[in-house]
Amino acid sequence: MSKDTIKGKAFVLGKNIDTDQIIPAEHLVYSLDDPEERKFYGRYSLSGVPDDESGLPQGNIPLVKEGEFESEYDIVVGGPNFGCGSSREHAPASMEIAGIKAIVAPTYARIFYRNSVDGGFVVPFESEKDLSKEIHTNDVIEIDKENRKLINHTQDKTYELKPLGSVEDIVAAGGIFEYARKTGMVD
C-alpha cells in the first residue's frame, strides 16, 4: 500500500458520536504512557456506542471483539458532528490504539478534530456528503489522499473528500510537535 492511500475494512456509525461513546469515562484512568495499560484504550474504543447503533446498518457489531485489544477494522465512517462532547484526547488515541487508520465523516466537533490532528492520531477526513448511510460495515474502502477520493470497492462507488485545509501542514508533519520542529518553533 502506498502511503498516499489507506485501504481496509469499514466500520460504520451514525451521527453525533460523542467522546463518551468513543471511550467511556470510567476507562480514562489507564496510563497512555505505559505500554501495557495503554492497550486497554484499544480494548474499550467505541465500547460506549449503544449496541444497536454499533457497526451499521446491521448493528450489534463491536469495533473490538470481546477480550481483544485491536480491531479487525481499519477505517471508521461516521455521520455529522463526529467526536462531540468532552476534550479527552484519549478518544482519538483509543481509536489509533485499536488500529484504526482514518475516520471519514461529513463534519467533526472542534476539539476532537483538533486533537486528532495535533496529536498525530487518526486522520480525520471530511467527506462532501454523509456516507454513513451508504457505506456498510465490512465494505472494503480506500482513501486516495492525493486525489481526495474515497473508493468503495465492495459497492464499486467513488465519493469526494474535502481538502484538509489549514491543518494540512500539521497532518503532513505528523502532529503539532513535529510541525513546530520543522518550522523552528521548538528545538
Partner 1 sequence: MGMTLTEKILAKHSGRSSVEPGESVWVNVDVLMTHDVCGPPSIGIFRKEFGEDARVWDKDKLVIIPDHYIFTNDKYANRNVDILRAFAADQDLPNYYDVGTDDYKGVCHIAMPEEGFTRPGEVLFGTDSHTCTAGAFGQFATGIGNTDAAFIMGTGKLWVKVPETMKFVFEGDEMPEYIMAKDIILQIIGDIGVDGATYRTMEFAGSGIKAMDMESRMTLTNMVIEAGGKNGVVDPDQKTFDYVNQRTDKPFEAVHSDDDANYHSIYEYKLEDMVPMIAKPHSPDNKATAEELEGTELDRAYIGSCTGGKLSDFVAAAKILQGKKPKIDTYIVPATTEIADQLKTETVNGQPIEDIFVEAGCQIGNASCAACLGGPSDTFGRLNNTERCISTTNRNYPGRMGSKQAAVYLASPYTVAASALTGTITDPRAFI
Which residues of the chain form contacts with partner 1 (CB under 8 A)?
Answer: 16, 18, 20-21, 24-26, 28-33, 37, 48-50, 80-81, 84-90, 107, 109-111, 114-115, 118-120, 166, 175-177, 180, 185-186
Question: Which of 63, 141 has the CB closer to partner 1?
Answer: 63
Question: Which of 32, 155 has the CB closer to partner 1?
Answer: 32
**Minimum distance from residue 129 beta carbon to partner 1 (Å):** 16
**Minimum distance from residue 24 beta carbon to partner 1 (Å):** 6
Cβ contacts of 144 within 8 Å, gap of 6 or more: 4, 5, 150, 151
Q: Is 42 exposed, middle or buried (0-12, 13-18, 19+ CB in 10 A)?
A: buried
Question: Which of 151, 170 has the CB closer to partner 1?
Answer: 170
What are the cell numbers at 176?
Answer: 503539532
Question: Which of 32, 153 has the CB closer to partner 1?
Answer: 32
Cβ contacts of 138 within 8 Å, gap of 6 or more: 9, 10, 154
Coil, helix or strand at residue 130: coil
**Minimum distance from residue 102 beta carbon to partner 1 (Å):** 18
**Minimum distance from residue 145 beta carbon to partner 1 (Å):** 21
Question: Which of 57, 185 has the CB closer to partner 1?
Answer: 185
Which residues are registered as beta bridge partners of 82?
Answer: 108
Alpha carbons 26 and 4: distance in angstroms, whole number? 37
**Minimum distance from residue 62 beta carbon to partner 1 (Å):** 13
Alpha carbons 172 and 179: distance in angstroms, whole number? 8
